[in-house]
A and B are shown apart, each in its own frame.
Chain A
């Protein structure tokens, strides 16, 4: 997780001081990216219902075909339709990305907010603990655990990656909450005798949420990249289940005879990641508190 440069910029931004946010329009490119993501999500959800070819059906009459009207993206070395495999493959990426971030935010989010709000021994202990875990290279740890925790399944990948992402999410949420917890309106609420629960839910949460959401998007992109790397190492879902990483990996052996098998999943993955990163980055600067990062 910690290797993503955007994540690091996030953390720096979460720590900077506060000036009133500037009103800024999100721009057409932003909404284009949102549209593309929604299109991808819908395709992944409705893949079974849409009139698409079976991603597992092997048609030996058309092996390694180029794109045509019949096979939009061509076929792979077993005669399977690349288009429907790309669409079905997006499911794995999206599931891993969202699932891992669900676990990460489920633990890291509340803990980070609580630690920043309560401070004291609880905070010191938890923060030290998390920093030690941050020092552990998450990629290596993930590979090491997944390689010996057999048999592999999608759920295990989600759990391992999710747990590995907890410390960094904790760190971002904690710094973001700390900036807000010292603001006048929070102190005012405290003076008025609001309960801790009320302050956390009504005062802090709405202000931490924007930072959380933009971090979530960048986090999903990072996890999808990680899943792709795992697929190359054969540590992701087992074939014949399609995933973008699996497909690109399979394409390596027949790169010269059938470049389409490498190109389409690569483009699909890069576009998806680009959209996630772009939306996350834009949201961050939209809600951002400083002008340091232009």
Chain B
């Protein structure tokens, strides 16, 4: 187990290294003068001098990388030339919103997916299974942006659920009821997206697990169906579920941007898109970096959990 984790950790560090190089060289890969791109609309002789000092732009490229990397390790992602605020501060104020959205939507998705997948797997091709399978397949084909537009149109406007305007977002510390209200629509959309994935994965895995011999054995001992499902079948089947959840939650951190943008939730995705709109290069670079590393850490965490659930994996 320890050896396995160490191996994964080394790979993780390798990937993080590649990602930092990627995020760093992004600017040099693109045509045009990096200084012009980084400064964006904040291009002035004063800012230009500051930029050269900050990034060491007149040094060779590999030295620039080390300067940049050194700054990052010290928690300094640079100072935006457009808003004149430190990039790390911007990220720090947006990140909790993403985390909250993620937690709420995942709780909802798991709470719906696990019991429903069990119901389906109990009687494959039964009426409930058919309805749920067809429904989940349809939901899979509805992009989140369409779901939001249609939900706003048909539900949110009528029910008075907050759906637009930065003003509709309420911080958790100011008013938690208002906060939950303002997050209800985005977390619902994200939860539905995750639910569909979890349901499909868990269902097909459970059907396979329920055909195993030890389940037949348990049945012949007269153990109740409920106990077989929860105690005997869920644990082996949850490996696939957890693996999918790892990828999916990582994807949420990166892919939730469209939901945030459409509903004006000032999380990382929203900040990223407004930074793109302002051509605020340093903020974009910082968020890309944080999100990429976050995605990888989440995947690593789920690898770890899967190992606890099924220790056979690390022995292979």
A residues sitting closer than 8 Å to B (CB atoms) are 2-3, 5-6, 8-9, 12, 132, 135-137, 139-141, 143-145, 147-149, 221, 225, 228-229, 232-235, 245, 248-249, 251-252, 255-256, 259, 262-263, 266, 269-270, 273-274, 277-278, 281, 292-294
Contact = CB atoms under 8 A, between A and B. Distances in A.
Contacts of A3: 247-248, 251, 254-255
A35 B129 CA distance: 27
B63 interface: no
A140 B146 contact: no
Nearest to B198: A5
B254 A259 contact: no
B137 A278 contact: yes
Q: Is the interface of A mostly helix, strand, loop or mixed?
A: helix
A234 B277 contact: yes
Contact of B149 (A132, A144, A251): A251
Nearest to B281: A148
B137 A281 contact: yes
Nearest to B143: A225
Interface stretch (B84-92, B284-292, B302-310): B284-292
B95 interface: no
Contacts of B149: 248, 251-252, 255, 262, 266
Interface of B: 14-15, 18-19, 22-23, 26-27, 29-31, 37, 124-125, 137-138, 140-143, 145-146, 149-150, 152-153, 157, 196-197, 200-201, 204, 207-208, 240, 244, 247-248, 250-251, 253-255, 257-258, 261-262, 272-273, 276-277, 279, 281, 284-285, 288, 291-292, 295-296, 299
> Which 4 A-B pairs rank lowest in CB-CB distance, beginning with the nearest?
A3-B251, A274-B141, A147-B276, A137-B254
A35 to B, nearest CB: 17
A48 B152 CA distance: 34
Contacts of B145: 228-229, 232, 245, 248-249
Contacts of A256: 153, 157
A266 B258 CA distance: 16
A59 B153 CA distance: 26
B30 A266 contact: no
Count chain B CB atoms within 10 A of each CB in A137, A235, A262, A277 and give the residue with the most: A137
Contacts of B255: 3, 137, 139
26 contacts: A5-B196, A5-B244, A5-B248, A9-B200, A135-B296, A137-B253, A141-B22, A141-B288, A144-B26, A148-B26, A148-B27, A148-B37, A149-B31, A221-B141, A225-B143, A232-B258, A232-B262, A233-B257, A256-B153, A266-B146, A266-B150, A270-B143, A277-B140, A277-B141, A294-B125, A294-B207
Given A140-B254, A255-B149, A229 B157 contact: no
Given A137-B292, A140-B292, A293-B204, A2 B137 contact: no
A149 B240 CA distance: 38
Contacts of B196: 5
B273 A233 contact: yes
Contacts of B244: 5, 8
Given A148-B281, A149-B30, A274-B138, A136 B150 contact: no
A294 B200 CA distance: 11
